[in-house]
A and B are shown apart, each in its own frame.
Chain A
């Protein structure tokens, strides 16, 4: 990128890094020098930001960067065979670039295409339902000099259930501008009252009451406030936000305008995960369209209300879905969560009052404006009103999106998606709960089981330890490292899990994990660490017979394997 284009604005750092990364496949030492000089920050600081995000590379990569999904859903759908096929076709192992500099091959955490696994991104374009044969064809095409665009997959969104009797909220017909027309008839405090009455709560998975969050931000006297949309859908197994953005981007924008109007903010930012780069154009076009019809920009509909909307792209870090980490990332920093000395509604983006809401929350807010809070709150249960999108993947006939009304049972959900013979459900993502057959009569609701969106189903043929190891590795890789319990704890638990899996732990050592998990729950800095051990604690509680089979009766030490290195060496000499 041209040095002249670089302004001394720290908030632009991620954009600049992307420019360098995209231009030549990596960020060179010279690039870092340039940025350090122009932004007037230490070289080590730029280096630190780069090394936080896994899509930024410091070493040259090939013309095509291939990222295969490492999630457990990919694995059960044959991801390992596809990985081998890539390695065979490219002649490189994971993490390597081929000698001609054409292809680099990497693994990455869930890319939000769970209903189409195994899937991969090549230069951030989606390739789905991969098989070894399809991989061979892709690589053949590219080696012959064929264009990537010509073979990238068009993604079909499977909206499987939305209650067609006019009861659907999100996936009903979208009428552009309806929400805004209703919005501007109200005063900001009326909008907030409406949100409160609707009972809407944060759809990203934390379920904080939206109306209350907006009210806190509104109360601040600050002139500058921000509305941020969290489109960093990183929870493995979820893809609902991807579908919302692809299907009804306008609804999201109207929701953000609603938020801006309510709290008195004139700027909005959509933090879009890098894995969804292929959605960016559509989103940008829709934003431009809203400017063209006067629903974005200055003096919207003559109501003396200005609202601008921009998109910022993440760079690969699950923790950036945590709202304060996301704000840090937007400011051009490492995406580490802040301490909760101040909440974003007090001091958020650039220390100004900020609301951060999930894509589904903003879309729901727009629908509440359109349909009224009474209609919205007539759906669902006492504690959780309205509807919820579930992204269902894994062992069932109909993977896809389900707009359910809160209150249905797990069994009803399984029936809807045609799942039989289910043994293990990872409910609400790796940070959620593990469910076994005993839980099938429980209700999906604030009173019983809440769900951020991810539902991963596994039948009796799946090895539970494959699932657990995959989830454990996910948290080890995605912990930001700022706090002791999450950084060290997840790693130590991973080691213990490995020991259990290799039949090397006693029951006492197995049970001990639960108390280690409690330390992470009580003491971690953010939600990532606090919830990162739910799965293992749940699994030990819900599948006791499985762990019993693995457990050693007495502590044993495997002397012969500890002597392997020695014998290997002395035999050679």
Chain B
């Protein structure tokens, strides 16, 4: 059949494409990028599960992967509404699963992470659910870490034995849906097919046992990829009127590791320039324990794990005009929030009674009215107070922090570099 060329418009620019081609591919061939997550070019018909590629087609929202181009197709990819919609979907995935980037073998090669970076997601609008999902070690060569699964369906659709039998298939439905693995069919995969399955997984759910630990998976493709575009509409545009006075800064670390503070110090001699511009009040850096005056900016590292964290945080909100959450722990809980799927009782017993270093017959869990009381889970600081700005990363690198703080304090506008924006 003869290929018919049709005229389409994407964000006001005219392009030509072959009739019947998928919109995603047509856009890509014309150098126009539409973000996707489940899409995998070999799979047809498209999976259409993640819905990240939602665009407006002649005024109506639809997914670009499932639509074929036609003459007169008018596509809007980057209107403010569509951008926000797309971002919301990726945020949903972060909130729904348990994504501890620093502890994930796929970090740096994870397509979910990449979408987060591209869209400049520093904090999700949805509270993280922290619901435990199973980890399945039963098959011989594959470990299924369901906490990271985004239900994209790639493995369900693509991974088959040489006899054509499926190895993965969806189980249950709705919020409880997960990807089951057939232990017997898994045995029939070749070693290469196992590795291919792990690589096909956009996140770190399918892990090839022994392989990823021995040799980190891939080369952290998404850290440095120059072709990746920063998508407009990040949270980072800020303007604050100048008044010439030396700004007052306070910092604290709640349920964190002080890594963000260490990173802050990584600006090296730059810290001397900082001191020209700002004065530190309450902060571990000055060892000032109590606020002595109202501050312009409060930088919070760490989430809220106990009653003391809670009090300190509330004090910061009162004493600081602007609150900046720095690092993953303060933004959504981070690594300490790994305990959020485990009952508090089990956490305490594991820590004080049953750990390897506990003595036999240990039966005391420390309790005194002066000891901070543990909350049922680790909360993000936005669960408790209003937060003005977020700096993601674990820890964020020094330049990122410095640029951001400078922007906030002095109302200058500067884009954070792609390479500085990380979750691990």
Contacts and interface: CB of A to CB of B under 8 A. Distances in A.
A341 B49 contact: no
Given A51-B173, A334-B170, A519-B89, A43 B61 contact: no
A566 B170 contact: no
The majority secondary structure among interface residues of chain A is helix
B376 A564 contact: yes
B118 to A, nearest CB: 16
Interface in B200-220: none
B63 A52 contact: no
B164 to A, nearest CB: 9
Interface string B114-130: 00000000000111010
B226 interface: no
B89 A485 contact: yes
Interface stretch (B189-197, B233-241, B276-284, B383-391): B383-391
B365 A342 contact: no
B181 A44 contact: yes
B182 A569 contact: no
A288 interface: no
Contacts of B367: 570, 573
Contacts of A479: 173-175
B175 A491 contact: yes
B166 A41 contact: yes
Contact of A565 (B46, B47, B345): B345
Interface in A521-573: 522-525, 555, 557, 559, 562-567, 569-570, 573
Given A44-B168, A525-B48, A557-B384, A480 B173 contact: yes
Contacts of A519: 85, 88-89, 92
| Residue among B92, B129, B167, B173 facing the most chain A CB atoms (10 A cut-off) | B173
B331 interface: no
Residue in A44, A52, A487, A564 with the greatest tally of chain B CB atoms within 10 Å? A44
Interface in B16-55: 45-52, 54
Contact of B171 (A48, A557, A570): A48
Given A481-B151, A563-B307, A42 B167 contact: yes
A149 to B, nearest CB: 33
Contacts of B383: 557
Interface string B76-94: 0000000001001100110
Contacts of B184: 43
B137 interface: no
A495 interface: yes
Contacts of A567: 373
Contacts of A256: none
A484 B51 contact: yes
Interface in B322-380: 343-345, 348, 363, 365, 367, 373-377, 379
Contact of A483 (B49, B61, B310): B49
Q: Is the interface of B mostly helix, strand, loop or mixed?
A: mixed
A564 B374 CA distance: 10
A485 B181 CA distance: 25
Contacts of A179: none
Contacts of B150: 484
Given A477-B174, A512-B125, A48 B88 contact: no
Interface residues of B, number: 64
B232 interface: no
Interface string B52-86: 10100000010100101000000000000000010
A516 B88 contact: yes
A482 interface: yes
A518 B171 contact: no
A306 to B, nearest CB: 32
Interface in B137-166: 150-151, 153, 165-166
Contacts of A41: 165-166
B225 interface: no
A566 B368 CA distance: 12
B151 A563 contact: no
A317 interface: yes
Contacts of B272: none
B372 to A, nearest CB: 10
Contacts of B169: 42, 44-45, 47-48
Contacts of A570: 365, 367
Q: What bracket does the count of chain A residues touching chain B fall in?
A: 35 or more
B66 A339 contact: yes
B51 A485 contact: yes
Contact of B92 (A338, A477, A488, A525): A488
B180 interface: yes
B103 interface: no
A476 interface: yes
Contact of A518 (B52, B85, B175, B348): B85
Nearest to B82: A522
Contacts of A491: 96, 129, 174-175
B345 A484 contact: no
B292 interface: no
B45 A566 contact: no
A322 interface: no
B153 A482 contact: yes
A194 interface: no
A223 interface: no
Contact of B151 (A487, A557, A559, A564): A487
A42 B182 contact: yes
B63 to A, nearest CB: 7
B167 A566 contact: no
Contacts of A480: 173-174, 177
Contacts of A557: 310, 379, 383-385
B373 A566 contact: yes
Contacts of B129: 491-492, 495
Contacts of A339: 45-48, 63, 66
A40 B63 CA distance: 34
Interface in A325-351: 334, 336, 338-342
B176 interface: yes
Nearest to A567: B373
B45 A565 contact: no
A484 B376 contact: no
Nearest to B353: A573
Q: Which 4 A-B pairs have the closest CB atoms?
A: A481-B177, A44-B182, A339-B48, A522-B61
6 contacts: A44-B180, A52-B170, A484-B89, A492-B96, A492-B126, A557-B383
Given A42-B182, A492-B126, A563-B373, 6 more contacts: A52-B172, A339-B46, A341-B48, A483-B48, A485-B92, A523-B51
